[in-house]
A and B are shown apart, each in its own frame.
Chain A
Amino acid sequence: MKLLTHNMLTSHVKGVTKGYPLLIKATEVKVNDVDFNPQFVCRMIPKLEWSALVEAADLLGHRQDLPSELVPDYEKNEDFLKKVHRALLEVEVIEGCLQCPESGREFPISRGIPNMLLNEDEV
């Protein structure tokens, strides 16, 4: 699971209202090599929950001193964009789980894939 995916995922356990963002508990993390596309990263940033990204990257030890808040004119800052690229698209949780912040329910991540299926009684 890459942090881009994590940024979009939320807990959908029945009755939960504060299910975002999910807490990451990682037991195995990998860093991949992904082609850097500055325009793509640029366009992606406004769509993200920035603080959730920074928190998650921090937890995994790949914050790379990304700021807690977006700085203006980041579009031209290639250095910054590269760091975002790495956090968002290169860092990958291979094994671990995602925890609902409200209910505590854990969703396993296995072979890089989060399994978000709920049981019949949780839907």
Chain B
Amino acid sequence: MECEGNYVKAGRRSKEEKKVFRKQLRASHTLLKHEGIRTTRQPTKSLVVANGGLGNGVSREELSAVLREMGAMENLVMPPHKPFAFVTYRCEEDATNAHTRLNGQKLLCAENSVVLYLSYVNSVTHQKAVAETLPQGLVLVEDFVSPEEEAQLLAAVDWSSAHEDVSAQKALKHRRVKHYGFEFRYDNNNVDKDKPLPACLPGECLPVLERCLRDGHINIMPDQLTINQYESGQGIPPHVDTHSAFEDTILSLSLGAKAVMEFRHPDGRVVAVVLPSRSLLVMKGESRYLWTHGITPRKFDLVPACESQSAALASPDVRTQSGLTLSKRGTRTSFTFRKIRHERCRCAFPSACDSQRTTSPSPASPPSLPCCRADAALLEEEYVHRVYDAIASHFSSTRHSPWPHVCQFLNLLAPGSVLADVGCGNGKYLGVNPELVAVGCDRSGALVQICADRGFHAFVSDALSVPLRTASCDACISIAVIHHFSTQERRLAAVRELVRLLKPGGQALVYVWAFEQEYNKQKSKYLKDHNRDSSPTQNSSKKTQEPHGEPDTQRHSYYPAEDKLSVHTNRTAFNSQDLLVPWHLKEGNKQDGKDSSCRLSSRTDPRPGCDSSREATHNPDSKPCSDTSGCSSAPVFHRYYHVFQQGELEQLCSQVAGVKVKSSYHDQGNWCVVLEKDPSLQMI
């Protein structure tokens, strides 16, 4: 990419200088707060260049051209997806020169312009050099077809007779698809094996396939071909090719332009593979059956800056000077050859196998709101229980500060009161008032284990059926629990169960996540922590759904139930009541929160009594790339929530006999009620 090297000179007035200085300070502060990068006023040989990062759409070539003009540049580190870079000069004078001349200056690049802010740093943080290998069973063969063959193959595709309506596809900005041999159906992710297509594989493909046979990549000729054409900005979501539809080896020929394909293992490992134009990708074994593969819809990929030994792998290697750079996407056409499978799949990866898994739903389809109890239970199993068990330790490390209002409720109870904490999580509230006889229960065995490790009394159970005797508790709390139930009946049943446990005159405190995150013109901490400063320019592929209508608060009608559940963007306002909220699992988290990422999290929110996220939210990820491609290497879990509208919780409780709402309030993005069981109730 050419860099114009155009500098817009800042004015010499001191007012202008002060403005630049202020902005530079702000940039420094953001770098410290979110990345742990410490800047210093004293000149050194190294500088951090804020806004000069790959995450800002600045390429290595553009930035280094400018920096080299300032002096003898020794090293340039551009961490992927980050909004900054580090430059080291041979001597301090050169660094000072760069600082003086570039700070506050606009850098005009091919695609955008950024204002650079430079600060001195004492050290340049290096990333761990991860030695990555390709997923097992994956082979990439470069230069598999000649440029002439590439042109022939591309010309052989007759898009006019493609099954999809081409104009509709273009309108939706969807990639173009054409099938030969058998049609792949996207509604059930399988093939109609009894209905072969009239068009069999084009003759132009024959020499290529024979070459694959001869080179030993396949033993049998494929009988199905899917051609995908991706324009810049288009992609395909991560998926595993249906086991029962196709035999083991899958061949994919990349033509026209290169692109980066990401392979994801269930354990969270991600390997980014550059697919050069005219290369053949052979997927077998684990890479075909277990790893998902996908292409993130974007206009630029991160690729190695120089064609070196790790050409195939797009991972940073800080030992070499080259590192990564941006590569603009062109139109890439892939020819994917597969052999139809006629008997059941008997692979060694049953967890991803549709032949061997009998009860699982299709993984490709997003969940919808359940219409019956069994569906509700399944949805909650998948999007609540399994998630909490998987994230328990990380979750617990972010749940350390009890909320003041809840503590107040607990501290006002008479000493010796019996308290049940239904949905106790990591036991955060069980020790708040040591005078209480407190017992907790949670659906997650992993979380209950944490309670036990802390010496609390806890057991595993469901909130809909708590194995405690009726009227055995002086008080109950249920903090950030009921919003995980996916039907109104279940939420009501949960409240009823709480009330059942109460002695007459006893009180229950219920907290649920509020749809209205802003209340009395005050944004909740959940919203306030949303970082606006250094959001990377790249967007992650989100499973977005159609937008919903506006709420009709006048009539107190709640949002109509959406067909499919949408995935929420962390730390933004809600636009639906039923949704999936991402949780980014941090690796290597210890329960005691000593991990640096945890420290960073708790540092951003030192105020007592407030989790850096609230009880019901996900990780207090202080990094700006909360749910963007910056953290794509961490596994993401989705938790189901039904967020409550104002008045909805009260209305729910009013349907329970023998109980009345003593108080109701909004607390940091939650709707809260205190219920009191009728003191005059006669217990059997």
Q: How far in angstroms is the closest Cβ of chain B from A56?
A: 14
| Chain A residues in 8 Å Cβ range of B468 | 8-10
Q: Are B462 and A47 in contact (CB under 8 A)?
A: no
A111 to B453, CA, bound (A): 10
Q: Mark B452-469, 1 if CB is under 8 A from A, else 0.
A: 100101111110111111
| Chain A residues in 8 Å Cβ range of B661 | none
A72 to B452, CA, bound (A): 34
| Chain B residues in 8 Å Cβ range of A44 | 416, 437
A117-B460 in contact given A8-B439, A9-B468 (Cβ < 8 Å): yes
| Chain B residues in 8 Å Cβ range of A96 | none
| Chain A residues in 8 Å Cβ range of B443 | 117
Q: For the complex, is B435 an interface residue (Cβ under 8 Å from A)?
A: yes
Query: Which of A39, A112, A116 touches B467 (beta carbons < 8 Å)?
Result: A116
Chain A, range 103-123, C-beta contacts under 8 Å to B: 111-118, 120, 123
A11 to B470, CA, bound (A): 12
Chain B, range 434-453, C-beta contacts under 8 Å to A: 434-435, 437, 439, 441, 443, 445, 448-449, 452
Q: Are B465 and A118 in contact (CB under 8 A)?
A: yes
Q: How far in angstroms is the closest Cβ of chain B from A76?
A: 17
A46 to B468, CA, bound (A): 17
Q: Are B469 and A114 in contact (CB under 8 A)?
A: no
A8-B418 in contact given A40-B435, A113-B448, A120-B377 (Cβ < 8 Å): yes
Q: For the complex, is B591 an interface residue (Cβ under 8 Å from A)?
A: no
Q: Are B461 and A8 in contact (CB under 8 A)?
A: no
Q: How far in angstroms is the closest Cβ of chain A from B680?
A: 21
Q: For the complex, is B472 an interface residue (Cβ under 8 Å from A)?
A: yes
A117-B461 in contact given A9-B467, A47-B418 (Cβ < 8 Å): yes
| Chain A residues in 8 Å Cβ range of B437 | 4, 43-44, 47
Query: Which of B416, B439, B452, B466 touches A113 (beta carbons < 8 Å)?
Result: B452
A5-B465 in contact given A47-B418, A113-B452 (Cβ < 8 Å): no
Q: How far in angstroms is the closest Cβ of chain A from B471?
A: 12
Q: For the complex, is B36 an interface residue (Cβ under 8 Å from A)?
A: no
Q: Which residue of B lies closest to A118 (CB)?
A: B465
Q: Are A5 and B415 in contact (CB under 8 A)?
A: no
Query: Which of B434, B461, B469, B472 touches A116 (beta carbons < 8 Å)?
Result: B461
Q: How far in angstroms is the closest Cβ of chain A from B190?
A: 29
| Chain A residues in 8 Å Cβ range of B459 | 1, 5, 9, 113-116
**How many A residues are at the interface, by size bracket?**
20 to 34
| Chain B residues in 8 Å Cβ range of A10 | 467-469
| Chain A residues in 8 Å Cβ range of B458 | 5, 113
Q: For the complex, is A20 an interface residue (Cβ under 8 Å from B)?
A: yes
Q: How far in angstroms is the closest Cβ of chain A from B505?
A: 15
Q: Are A43 and B469 in contact (CB under 8 A)?
A: no
Q: Mark B565-592, 1 if CB is under 8 A from A, else 0.
A: 0000000000000000000000000000
Main secondary structure of the interface of A (DSSP, over half): mixed
Q: Are B418 and A114 in contact (CB under 8 A)?
A: no
Q: How far in angstroms is the closest Cβ of chain B from A30?
A: 12
Q: Mark A31-66, 1 if CB is under 8 A from B, else 0.
A: 000100001101110110000000000000000000
Q: How far in angstroms is the closest Cβ of chain B from A96?
A: 13
Q: For the complex, is A2 an interface residue (Cβ under 8 Å from B)?
A: yes
| Chain A residues in 8 Å Cβ range of B416 | 40, 42-44, 46-47
A34 to B455, CA, bound (A): 9
Q: Mark B397-433, 1 if CB is under 8 A from A, else 0.
A: 0000000000000000001101000000000000000
Q: For the complex, is A12 an interface residue (Cβ under 8 Å from B)?
A: yes
Q: Mark A72-89, 1 if CB is under 8 A from B, else 0.
A: 000000000000000000
| Chain B residues in 8 Å Cβ range of A120 | 374, 377
Q: How far in angstroms is the closest Cβ of chain A from B461?
A: 4
A46 to B448, CA, bound (A): 27
Q: Which residue of B lies closest to A14 (CB)?
A: B465
Q: How far in angstroms is the closest Cβ of chain B from A46?
A: 8
Q: Are B449 and A43 in contact (CB under 8 A)?
A: no
Q: How far in angstroms is the closest Cβ of chain B from A69?
A: 21
A116 to B441, CA, bound (A): 9
A14 to B283, CA, bound (A): 51
Q: Which residue of A lies closest to B437 (CB)?
A: A44
Q: Are A115 and B467 in contact (CB under 8 A)?
A: no
Q: Are A123 and B449 in contact (CB under 8 A)?
A: no
Q: Which residue of B lies closest to A11 (CB)?
A: B467
A111 to B468, CA, bound (A): 21
A123-B469 in contact given A1-B459, A47-B416, A116-B459 (Cβ < 8 Å): no
A46 to B414, CA, bound (A): 14
| Chain B residues in 8 Å Cβ range of A111 | 449, 452
| Chain A residues in 8 Å Cβ range of B377 | 120
A42 to B437, CA, bound (A): 12
Q: Are A8 and B464 in contact (CB under 8 A)?
A: no
Q: How far in angstroms is the closest Cβ of chain A from B437?
A: 5
Interface residues of B (CB under 8 A from A): 374, 377, 415-416, 418, 434-435, 437, 439, 441, 443, 445, 448-449, 452, 455, 457-462, 464-469, 472
List of 9 A-B pairs having minimum Cβ-Cβ separation, nearest first: A43-B416, A116-B461, A12-B467, A115-B460, A114-B459, A116-B467, A5-B457, A10-B469, A112-B452
> Please, could you name 9 A-B residue pairs with CB atoms under 8 Å apart, sorted by A?
A4-B437, A5-B457, A10-B467, A40-B416, A46-B416, A112-B452, A113-B458, A116-B459, A117-B461
Known: A12-B466, A40-B416, A113-B449. 5 other contacts (CB 8 A): A4-B439, A112-B452, A115-B461, A116-B461, A120-B377
